[in-house]
Structure 1
Amino acid sequence: MEIKITYIFFFSLVIFVVPATSDVPEDLIFLNCGSDDDSVDSDGRMWLGDNGTNTHIFTGNSFPVKAEFQDPSLPSDVPYMTAMVFSTESTYRFPVKSNTRHYIRLHFYPMEYENLPPDEGLFGVSIEGGVTLLHNFSTYITAKALSQAYIVKEFSIPPSNTEIRAITFTPSPETNDSYAFVNGIEIMSMPGYVNDGSYAKMVGIKDQSINVGSAAIETMYRLNVGGKYVSPVKDSGLFRTWQVDSLYIYGSGFGVEYSAPTTLPINYPANLPEFIAPVSIYKTARSMGHIAKINMNYNLTWLFQVDAGFTYVVRFHLCELLYTKPNQRVFDIYINNQTAVTAADVISWTGMIGVPTYKDYSIYIPDSNGGGGNGEERLSVGLHPSAISKPEFQDAILNGLEVFKINDAEWNLAGFNPIPSPMMAKSEHRLPLRQLDFAGIIMSAFISVVLFFAFFIALLQLWKALKRDCDDDSRFSSSKTPAWLSLYTENSQTSVVSNNISGNMPNLARHFTITEIKHATQNLDKSLMIGIGGFGKVYKGIIDGKTQVAIKRLNPLSEQGATEFETEIEMVSKIRHQYLVSLIGYCKEGSEMILVYDYMANGTLREHLYETKNPPMSWQQRLEICVGSARGLHYLHTGARHTIIHRDVKTTNILVDDNWVGKVSDFGLSTMNPTNYQNVSTMVKGSSGYLDPEYFKSKKLTEKSDVYSFGVVLCEVLCGRPALDLSLPKQQANLGDWVMLCERTGTIHEIIDPHIGGQINPACFDKFVDTAMKCLTHHGNDRPSMSDVLWNLEFALQKTSPSSPKKITEPLSAVADIPKETSSSSSHSPCHSSSATTTPYFDHYHHHSTISSASATTLSSPAVATEGEGESFDVDGNRISVSLCQNF
């Protein structure tokens, strides 16, 4: 039907509190679509209904609907619990002031409205003048991909010479059943926020700028850096939402959050209107920290997913809260590895402490796949202390950050729908139940039952026949399972079931429901929690009434965690080995991502070596655990169908069962195809102190990188100290380098763990140290294979003679032929000063930051924008990020 309704001036009817420091926008419209009545949201804003006479002009076929379920994450029931649905092209026309830039915010709550499947909500949105805001937009897919219940799209529309803002919703013509809908619409004027003639300098293109004042703009991200969430009513009059920035920080190097002293006022300069950003944005900040050596070795980096083929404006909000003089805190700013600003000095820009400013820079993001991809690319923002200006303090600061998309040449802002995680792929494409043929279902079920009983009878007859053969023929041992039966009974705890992860994923991992997980953990009882960290929580549980398991519940907000969740299932479900920690199953329901592992009663190897209340582990136990983990790595490298490289071998990823058998765990960073490594990840990954220096420098991953990391593990076992200890003198901080130096100088006997010094047979000691030194050789081709490492360790184990121990007090001669490397070539740079730790057992289940460690010689100079991958560190439970502002 067609509805014709008269104009009114909304801003005369909408009443709420606006911050006193801000001007009330001349145009201010809040429309609660599909509602008959005016309603007040949880922030106290009045939203007017659009199904009566006191509203806009509307044309098209539509009908109002109500949501049947209110998701707990909705900020308010207004405007999300009602919607207007459009079956044909439909247009809202709002009276506004001409020649004024406007915000337009569209609110969507994708769910089933009156039997309309949410996945059929596919539509476009455009405004007068031919500007396309959205095209073939699926709120359902977008919400699923972002793990959100609702979506808000914010646009900034350039001035028009008419007094009408027309917003048109068009169901997609690509499907017959598509429809459009919207829950709420906001329109407000933006005086002075972006004026015609406002320019943003292009990054990477000399002497080029773009005019953003005449552009149509979509807000992609708006962050209160170092501060808390800012709701629309706490904004400076424009009702913007400012999110926390921690979710977008690359790696785990979060730097330091701090606030302005209560005695420090924020004074806006005359040329900066207060509605640019609220005072709360400038009163908080994030810096890199106070340790210069660490700051010079990494970038504080944020990473964003954006649409390819568009130009983006990045707005930096800056206000110095600590220093008062120029050249005290000076830093460089990078956008996508390209220098945006050299020697940024906030005090030099503003003149004094507590005075805010902002800077705009633009960059074009091409499609790296030449148009053949899904349209998703990455945009990175990095800060690094300036080396050129030699400031008093090596640090950087940022208070707020906004990322805007600029329309393309065809006045289009629409990008692709985001690609949901492969975990959802199969379930996302299920047909709605109403589309299924129930007669076909019944017939299929009947046939299935008949076939099942026929198969069962045949199976029973075969079992009886084999049983008779076993009783009559001595060739069959009663302790063995017949080969045919092993396919169904072997690994019963990981029974073959159909899973919902992806069509390409093997059906070897058991699928648990969230109800089963809660039952196994007594509703996720805190008393059963055995680990906690930024990646999630780990619980001890019981399944099938008797089997102990470790249940890792991933944080749904962790993007990297979702990737590793997929990798773990794909990788571990394909392999089973006595010396690998088995993945029993997984749970993927909604935003829940849960992995279920064998429970390892004695935790990690590390918690038995140092910084622990556990009794000292004997040398015999240590060596046996090393042999077991070497067998696990040997199987990964040679026993599977394809070579599997673990990429994160360390003492916290070697778990110990109740029989003191060491097993390799945590395959979230593993890869099966090193020759196509760039297709697996664009980032060098590993943990500081363990990372192969050749891998870091060349970006070429081989199984010899695992060998290097395992060599560091052997050093930890021998010395009983962490792989990286920044509290020690520089020469001793990196354990691998320190052990090699002590071996060359004949003093290695002085650094042995005193708990085991009198337990080691000299022949065993010689072979063990010789093996460790060869693993730590800097050139991968010179390192032994895991097969050779395993043989040497088993040889050393045979030489263990507890009955006649001899204290090792003399230098070794058996390793005199080891190449003499300079210690500086592999000493890993310190990267973190935090003393925060995680529960050691949890480190197996902990989210791995994408991490790499570089040699001191490599990182002795400031990080610069270079070709390569982003880097980060993991210091034995303390997660830190080192992004060298390289390609993402």
Structure 2
Amino acid sequence: MLQNFPSMAPPQMLVLPLILLVSLIPSSFSFTPVDNYLLNCGSHANASLFNRIFTGDSTKPGSDYLAAGKSITLANQNSPPNSPTLYQTARVFTSTGSYRFHMKSNGIHLVRFHFSPFSAQGFDLKSAKFSVLVGGNTLVKEFQLRNGTLIKEYILKIESNLLEIEFEPVGDSGFGFVNALEVFTAPVDFILDYGARLVDSSGVEEYRNLSSQVLETVYRINVGGSKITPFNDTLWRTWIPDDDYLVFKEAAKRVASTHTPNYQKGGATPEIAPDNVYMTAQEMNRDTSSLASRFNITWKFQVAPAVGGGGVRHLVRLHFCDIVSSALNLLYFDVYINGYSAYKDLDLSSLTVHVLASPIYVDFVVDSDDSGSIEISVGPSDLSSVMRMNALLNGAEIMKMVNVMDSHVVHKRKILWILVGSIVGGVVLLSVVVGLLAFMCRKRKPKQKTAESVGWTPLRMFGGSSLSRLSEALASPGSHGYLGLKVPFADIQAATNNFDRNLIIGSGGFGMVYKATLKENVKVAVKRGMPGSRQGLPEFQTEIAILSKIRHRHLVSLVGFCEENSEMILVYEYVEKGPLKKHLYGSGLPPLSWKQRLEICIGAARGLHYLHTGFAQGIIHRDIKSTNILLDESYVAKVADFGLSRSGPCLDETHVSTGVKGSFGYLDPEYFRRQQLTDKSDVYSFGVVLFEVLCARPAVDPQLTREQVNLAEWALEWQKKGMLEHIVDPHIVGQIKRESLKKFGETAEKCLADYGVDRPTMGDVLWNLEYVLQIQESGQLREATADLTTTVVTGTPSDSIRTQGYHDNCNSDISTSEVFSQLINNEGR
């Protein structure tokens, strides 16, 4: 599958002429490997390929490289014109034989086998069937090459001073062959043991000890560029164009730079990938779609199919270099692999030392699907502005992990034996402890229990099911650990001046909220649970479990918690301007402008969308309202109060069955009727907030007339009559452009649909609100005739193009052609 020449068709030349000219100039071979063995097998003479000299091996067994074993040399007397000299001879093994190499250094090495079958002296190399072992590990099993020339490349760690490569014929009459061999040291840090991202249905986590795996290169792709030969690569690799792997070519647009990449310490090097990979790319093709369209670029690669119910594990290395932006921090995009979110809100500027066009690479570990394919997609992030939505990819490598399944079996067996041993040992230890306790109880008289103080029992005292989820979470903290979140009670007392009532800034069902200042002048909000009440225990555990593992600009961050002295205290970042509700009505604060209100709604939508899609199952907030949307000193919205939040349904479920909780006036009527919770329940509540922002009045106001008490019902009546301008907050009546108000009202109306299936996702809501702001600021409308809030194109990240670039597993699939036809025409998004 890799490097099949000379039959490979030349790529379509669409890159800038100067780039093509640069690609003809050989790169400076600055890398000199410590070990560097190049063998021309089956020949006494040396041969040259891409300016590299391959030394002829010896026909005499026991010489420098060729070890004992029955083998012969073979020469092709009828080789085609211009055929490389290296492929005109071969070493044929009629029984198990091997090469041996004395290694000067241990560590990661590259091993390449060159196979080019021909017929000579009664041998037809196309009928050869054999296995290849390196260091005792079978890398090539029962291999047979019918046509063409093939280079098989492996990346592995060598930990011995002697490396043996064996060729083992299959069957009594079988034989094996090889035309050329390469064994050389890889650059330092070519394969790192840390930093790779394991991507599967459960989410993303770090993959460790990558160097212990044997990797077989399957694909090496120069995205957006032409073919790169070993002549232009410091590790003598071949990179092929991506044209044949693009699922929908119209979604991508080639871009190129004439400037050498800005290599920086900690980023990629010319050995990771050559200059020409980072100087070309594919970006979103905005020429054939409307300006505000969201879609993905997708590449699909055939790999080893799933075996025995499990996919074959692969390392996917993606190369990035921002050659499309005019300044830093303008490009944000998401990466999906096999339909799973692999990297959200990727900001190349933040991963480099803040230098534009600085190359980086990211390693992902994934399993192939049942069809034996790997799909890679890039698309715009939620953080992308409407005017700057883009995504790019410069290069891709896919490497199969050889024997990774076997190592997992061994690992599982070890775990099983450890588990059995632990259980047996535990039973014995428990028996001893019980015996000692029984003996001690006979000696001692029972003491009467003392009265417990009024308050909550600390977390560590509970072992029951009510705190089982939190206990599990505390037992297996995230990368930073829950212990790092604990704040001493003495520090909180000092920060709140012993809970001075003058510092109270809010209150709720959980307890009072105090403004406080911790050490080093860190401003925080301290939420103290009401002593004597256990009602807040589930909220306390939920807030810690959720907020300790999420970080987002539009979500309030958890600073820490305290469980000392029978207290349940949560410490949050301090959000200067408080709840959105205070800025809409009832507090006498200056009214917000229409633009400010739109930006606040967009920020809150981004935070909610991250909750819904940033995890394998997603998180449903369950209590969206204007008091739970806080504003910082710059009026940036932050969603708060996660005490009622729940994990979303599993991939094979449509909802979560749970008791109804939430706030009156914001509660999803379908959730209330059926007690079936989905993320569309949050969408309904957010729709109420949208009308609350527009009208500057509470969701429920009993003092008003009967038809006006419920904001959602009242506002919908005016929206359906097309007279929404009659109920707009008087402070902003003259600020709203007609089309901006129209699209805003349509978006809120769709959020408040009676049935969740008819409501948009938070991704759709976010997209529409950004479009409302675009209309408000520019006043320019696209020529599209479709209703943005009713014409919603759905799909999963595995679709070749997705209108939203969002993770929405519940939506129905739609064909690639159907999606893109709506993107490139004015009739759809």
Query: Into which bin does the TM-score normalised by the smaller protein fall?
Result: 0.3 to 0.5
Q: Scaled by the length of structure 2, what TM-score is found?
A: 0.45
Q: Scaled by the length of structure 1, what TM-score is found?
A: 0.42
